[in-house]
Structure formats: structure tokens, C-alpha cells
Amino acid sequence: MSDASLTKFRSAREETPLARYALIAVAVLGLGVLVAAPLIAVFVEALAQGWLAAVASLGNHDAASAIKLTLLIAGVSVPLNAAFGIAAAWFITKFDFRGKAFLITLIDLPFSVSPVVAGLCIVLMFGTNSLVGGWLVASGYPIVFALPGIVLATMFVTFPFVARELIPVMIEQGRAEEEAALTLGASGWRTFWTVTLPNIRWALLYGVLLCNARAMGEFGAVAVVSGKIRGQTATMPITIEMLYNEYLSVAAFSMAAVLTLLALVTLMLKTALEIRHADALAATHRH
Amino acid sequence: MGKPLIHRSPMPGLGLSMGVTLTMLSLVVLLPIGALLWKGANFGISGIWDTVNRERVWAALFLSFRLSLFAALFNLVFGMILAWVLVRYRFAGRRLLDAAVDLPFALPTAVAGIALTALYAPNGALGSLAAEIGWKIAYTQWGIFVALVFVGLPFVTRTVQPVVEEIEAEVEEASATLGASRIYTLRRVVLPMLAPAALTGFALSLARAVGEYGSVIFIAGNIPLKTEIAPLLIVIQLEEFNYDAAAAIGIAMLLISFGMLLVINLIQVWSRRRIGYV
């Protein structure tokens, strides 16, 4: 077989060079305008009056309390969702029961509900006008316009993240390794810690990473339940809105820049996981 | 006797994992959604209809669903091009481009909102360019469209990409050997294989756009009847402590979204059956 025929055979899967360059140009230009430009805009606006102004705007009391609140909310809701994700993935992949597909649909439900509607649901459930909420407020444990409501809203919108990463990975790995450990006399917990967890740790980390990014950045659901009390229930995204609406552009974009840096770190870690631990992630993330 | 509800299994932790799963699912997702439906049931169908059947509400619902559809269609085409380019072509910066696709997932919506507004406002970097040809983007429906395209961007690419990777070389080669042109092969052989995954991405992108709030409200201008989206209307009702009206609009949005997802699922089942490729 000569080289010429080989080249010709290969080109059956390729577009003409002109079409190829045109498509690459469309992709680069499209992502440039849609993704890179807003990214650059955040930093340009934040630094419009120089570094000092940007950093100073983050130092005031309200900004500091917003940053603390956001970290606290992520610190509570992400571990809870991770625990849920592990439990749900274990239940769904290690046991056979009727209604499994329906259960998975229910877990995915928050993805097709608007964050604003999610917040609305929590207000209706726990607000002062509701049965449960009225009793809780009377007992001194308000949920809405307070920390628990923000945590609940955040958990609602990030609910499927960890479970969705773990379920396909655990289906693929099967039950044989756990069964072997159990046959050899290991306890259930020991089997989980020494057999299952090492197998799913990268997928778990991947899910936690995405869950955390969304938890720290959630706006719609939190806007509805938080009451936007400055210094108390205003998270970083809510504070960005308040500053922006007060025409404090540098302060708004400086805080936005902090969240943007977080997003960039998330993306870098995520890409690193996809490259280094591709075989331990769900098939859709291997590229 | 039918199948047992739960098969017996030697695996430990049934009670614990089932308990945690069902308790948290109920507490975080099902009970709050139930509270919304309960509120709606008390309010009654006629009450919901009277709330929704107003010019301002119809305008907001129509605007939200129409622009979401346009944005999802744009993302369908652009996402498929992107998936194809990222899998099939090798060029400098491909990895960077691949990672950049996920930025809309990682960037908080409020940040995206103010960044897009700064960019497309009449005095912004891209907005001033558009203004020269008399094209207003921010504070018009175009602005909402741009924001919805941004938030829905990754879905189609991420669902189609793995399918493009799986396409066997033989399939396209056979088509070419039988005399099909490249365009014909792409249209009649490759595209049908990508269709179910692309449709899934389209549905996800649509669902996301319909409910989107954070990235839209800054750039939209929020003028009633013109650039006011449905989720904003819920927030306005809540700020006026008008819980019945907020619940009514919320239920209308839920019903329309689920209806759309159902239709898309049916199309998907139909296309899988017709094409015979999963």
C-alpha cells in the first residue's frame, strides 16, 4: 500500500482545510466574545481606579462579613450535599429496588426548577406565614431571612451535583470488590472506607468542586430567601448586586473579581482532574 | 407475586443509605416543592388563572420562554460546532478552549450579569461598537438573549463531545467509499448519530435559560411588558409579600417547563427509535 492511498483514505474523515479553518475561527471567535470578553471585563472594571481602590473596597465591614457568610454557607451545605451524594449513590448502585429511575429523576429535579422558584418554595414552606415557619419563628428559630434558609436554598440548587458524579462511576465499578471485602470479614464501614472511598475519591472531589462553585455563587435562590440584610444575610453575590445598584462599580467588580478568581481556580482543578484521573471520573468527563 | 420492592442483598448499609437519601431528598427538595403545590391547591385553579391571565404576566412568560428557545437554538448550533472542533481538530490552544467552555458553569450568575452589562452597555467595549451601527444590546431583548446564551453555552458541547469521540472511523469511511460527499456524510450519517445527545443538551440549556435570573436582571433593563422576565415577576411579588401571586406564577413556570421537557423527551424517544442509535 502506497502512502498516497493511505492519505486519501484518511481524508475521508476530514473536512476541506477551508471548512476546518472556518469552523475553528467560529469556535475561537464565539468563545472569545461570549466567554473571554466578560472575564476580562470583570478585571478591567475592578481595576478601573487602580489596585489600591479595589483592595480597599474589599476591606470594609460589610464586604468582610459577606465573604465570611459565603464561606460559612459553602462550608455547611457542601459537606451535607456530599454526604447525601455518597448515601444516594450507595443506595442506588448497591441495591436493586423498584422505582430506581424515578428516584434518580427526583434527585435531578432541582436542575429543571428555576432558582427563584426554589427560593419561593422554601419561603412558602418555612416563611412566617406557613404552619412550620410560624411555629419555628415563635420558638426563636427563624429559617427564612436567616442563615438556615440560605443554606437550604443553596442545598436545593446544588442538590444533584455530587450524586450525579458518583452514580455512573459506581455503576461502572460494580459490587465485586465490596463483596470480596465483606466475604473476607470486613465490616460495612471498613469496606466503605478502604474499598469504596478510594475508588470514588476523584469523582467525589470533582462533584464537590462543582458543588462548591455553585454554592458560593448562587444568586437567584438566595436573593429570595435571604432578605438581603446588609452585614447579616448578604452573601457575596447579593453584596455584588447591592453595590452595583448603588453605582459603586469598583467595589462591585472587586468582589466579582474575587468570585471570578475562585471560578478560575475551580476550572483549573477540574481540568487537572480530567487530565490526570480521567479513568476515575464519569465517562462524560473524559476528554 | 410480583417483584419484591427491594431485592435482598448481602450489601450492608441499606437502612442508613436509604434513610439519609430519602430524608434529605424530602427535606430539601420534595417538601418545599410540595409547599408550593399546596399553596397553589389552596389558591385554586381559578385563582391561579386570574393571577397568570394578566397582560404583564403573559408578557413575562412569553418573553422568558421565547428568548430561552432562541438562546437554546443558538447554543445547539454553536455547541455542536464547538464539540466537533474540540474533538476532531488539533490546533494550538485547544485545551484552553476546552476548559473555557465550562466557565459559564463556574462563574456566579451575578458576576456574569454585571460583566455582560459592562461589556454590552452603550458605553461598554462591545456595546459601543454595536451602537455605531445603531444596534442596542444591553437593556433590550438582545441583552437578555446574550445572557441566556452565556449561561446555556456548555450544555450541548458537553453532551455531544463524548458521542463525537465514539464515532467509529468505518462509518464515515464507508459512506465516503460509497460515493457520498463530505457534506452528505455529515448530514445523513454523522448528524443523526449526534442528534439524541444534542437534543439532551438543548433541553438542559433550555431549562436553565427559562429559570435564569442572576445573569439576566442586570442587563435586561426590566421594563414591564418589554424586558421583564418571569422569574423577576416572582421576586417582585415576593417583595410585596404577595405570596399567592408569586406561587401562581411559580406553578405556571413549573408546569410549562415540565411540559417542554416532556415534549423533548418524547422527541428523543422517537428519534432514538427512528435512527436506532442510542
Distances (CA, A) of B221 to A9, A78, A251, B140, B253: 55, 34, 21, 7, 21
Q: Looking at the structure, do residues A34 and A62 belong to the same domain, yes or no?
A: no
Least confident of B37-41, B102-106, B171-175, B220-224: B171-175
* Residue A249's pLDDT band (cuts 50, 70, 90): very high
Q: Looking at the structure, do residues A123 and A202 belong to the same domain, yes or no?
A: yes
- Dump pLDDT digits (tens) for A133-151: 888 888 888 888 899 999 9
Q: Looking at the structure, do residues A109 and A41 belong to the same domain, yes or no?
A: no
Task: Write the class of the CATH domain B53-275.
Answer: mainly alpha
CA distance A143 to chain B (A): 13
Q: Looking at the structure, do residues A64 and A184 belong to the same domain, yes or no?
A: yes
- Dump pLDDT digits (tens) for A221-233: 999 999 888 888 9
Q: A236, A255 in Cβ contact below 8 A?
A: yes
Please tell me the predicted confidence (pLDDT) of residue B278: 40
- Dump pLDDT digits (tens) for B211-232: 999 999 999 989 999 999 999 9
Q: How many domains does chain A have?
A: 2
* Residue B2's pLDDT band (cuts 50, 70, 90): low
Q: Looking at the structure, do residues A132 and A8 belong to the same domain, yes or no?
A: no
* Residue B275's pLDDT band (cuts 50, 70, 90): low
On whether any CB of chain A is under 8 Å from the CB of B166, the answer is: no
Whether A129 has a pLDDT exceeding 90, the answer reads: no
In sequence order, the β-bridge partners of residue A97 are B6
Average confidence score pLDDT of chain A:
90
Whether A49 has a pLDDT exceeding 60, the answer reads: yes
Q: Looking at the structure, do residues A88 and A212 belong to the same domain, yes or no?
A: yes
Q: Looking at the structure, do residues A215 and A88 belong to the same domain, yes or no?
A: yes
Point out the residue among A107, A216, A240 whose CB comes nearest to the CB of B25: A107
3-state secondary structure of B6: strand
Domain boundaries, chain B: 53-275
Please tell me the predicted confidence (pLDDT) of residue A286: 57
User: Which of B107, B161, B193, B251 is the mutation pick for testing A, counting most A CBs within 10 A?
Assistant: B107
Please tell me the predicted confidence (pLDDT) of residue A132: 84
Whether B54 has a pLDDT exceeding 80, the answer reads: yes
User: Locate cell 475519591: which residue?
Assistant: A201
Whether B1 has a pLDDT exceeding 50, the answer reads: no
Q: Looking at the structure, do residues A20 and A39 belong to the same domain, yes or no?
A: yes
Q: What share of chain B is helix, strand, coil (3-state, %, to 5)?
A: 80, 0, 20
Residue of higher predicted confidence among B145 and A128 = B145
Whether B185 has a pLDDT exceeding 90, the answer reads: no
B253 vs A117: CB contact, 8 Å cut-off? yes
Q: Looking at the structure, do residues A136 and A29 belong to the same domain, yes or no?
A: no
Q: Write the ipTM.
A: 0.90
Closest CA to A251 of A46, A71, A68: A46
In sequence order, the β-bridge partners of residue B6 are A97
From chain B residues 118-147, the ones with a CB under 8 A of any chain A CB are 118-119, 124-126, 146
Distance CA A144, CA A138 (A): 13
Q: Looking at the structure, do residues A133 and A264 belong to the same domain, yes or no?
A: yes
Average confidence score pLDDT of chain B:
90
Q: Looking at the structure, do residues A1 and A62 belong to the same domain, yes or no?
A: no
Give the mean pLDDT of B51-59: 91
Q: Looking at the structure, do residues A17 and A128 belong to the same domain, yes or no?
A: no
Give me the domain span that covers residue A12. 1-46
Whether B268 has a pLDDT exceeding 80, the answer reads: no
Domain CATH for A191: 1.10.3720.10
